[in-house]
Amino acid sequence: MGLLDRILSRSNLRRAYKQVVGNGGSSGVDGVEVTDLADYLHKNWLRIKAEIETGVYRPQAVLGWKSPSRMAAHGYWAYPRLSID
């Protein structure tokens, strides 16, 4: 099983979702509440997964900042978001 398969595995995604819910359900940097995310993923997950697997999915950054940190490859950090219509 490759890295992408492990990332997209049901058990990993369930664990990640439980962690998000466990954080109190507060919205992320894009303002999307956990309840909205659940509905969106329920309706769109198969498409999103296929786009990730084929390299078509491109999340948009909604929060970014310059950083002198060596951990930021180009001195810039950004959080991706889902496109929730």
pLDDT per residue as tens digits for the range 3-12: 999 999 999 9
pLDDT at residue 85, as a whole number: 45
Full-model pTM: 0.60
**35-41 CB contacts, 8 Å cutoff, 24+ apart:** 36/84, 37/82, 37/84, 40/82, 40/84
Question: What is the reported pLDDT for 59?
Answer: 73
Instruction: Note the pLDDT of residue 46.
Output: 93
What domain count does the chain have? 1
Q: What is the DSSP letter of 77?
A: E
CA distance 30 to 38: 15
Query: Range of 15's domain?
Result: 3-81
Mean of all residue pLDDT scores within the chain: 74
pLDDT surpassing 50 at residue 20 = yes
